Amino acid sequence: MVVEGEEAPNFTLKSDERRDISLSDYRGKNVVLYFYPKDGTPGCTNEAKAFRDAIKDFEKENAVILGVSKDSVESHQKFKRKHNLPFTLLSDPEGEVLSLYSVWKQKSMFGKTFMGIERTTFLLDEQGVVRKIYRKVRVKGHAQACLLNLTQT
């Protein structure tokens, strides 16, 4: 399990640009690593748009934003284009990184249980250490909370 104060586990996934991206590529930058359930759903769209709208403020804090879901590269490309997202989306179709970060959980909706991504954000410092974990994220105000946390470190 990933915990605050420890180095974030490295991984490599395909990006929306079809390139292999490793978390370690971003050493020297703060990283907002956010896991979300599905491209195009209302909550995920609102979360992505909130990060998009605050991108200049994140850049002032030397931060990059990486979104991760099980969606395909093609799905990420459409989602990114449709909403003008200026940050990288990573595809984890096998769920290996989702498991590594313990965000693949049993969930329930309308009395049915299923496995899915628990909306979670990890804030990493420039050395790759986990400084803050937000689990069971509520979308409204979340991007601003992440930004506030970055400005205080």
CATH number at residue 121: 3.40.30.10
**Cα distance between residue 49 and residue 106, in whole Å:** 27
**Cα distance between residue 55 and residue 25, in whole Å:** 19
Whether 56 has a pLDDT exceeding 90, the answer reads yes
* Domain-embedded: residue 111: yes
- pLDDT the model gives residue 93: 97
* Domain-embedded: residue 139: yes
* Domain-embedded: residue 74: yes
What type of residue is 41?
A: T
- pLDDT the model gives residue 108: 82
* Domain-embedded: residue 118: yes
Whether 142 has a pLDDT exceeding 90, the answer reads yes
Domain containing 62 equals: 29-151
Write the CA distances from 7 to 61, 88, 90, 112, 128, integer angstroms: 20, 21, 20, 36, 6
* Domain-embedded: residue 1: no
- pLDDT the model gives residue 19: 97
Q: Grade residue 109 by pLDDT with cuts at 50, 70 and 90.
A: confident
* Domain-embedded: residue 112: yes
* Domain-embedded: residue 98: yes
For range 89-118, the mean pLDDT: 92
- pLDDT the model gives residue 148: 93
pLDDT digits (tens, 9 = 90+) for 14-25: 999 999 999 999
* Domain-embedded: residue 65: yes
- pLDDT the model gives residue 22: 98
* 8-state DSSP, 111: T
Whether 153 has a pLDDT exceeding 70, the answer reads no
**Cα distance between residue 29 and residue 23, in whole Å:** 11
Dihedral Cα 25, 9, 57, 70, nearest 10 deg: 90
**Cα distance between residue 72 and residue 90, in whole Å:** 9
**Cα distance between residue 59 and residue 2, in whole Å:** 25
Positions marked catalytic: 44
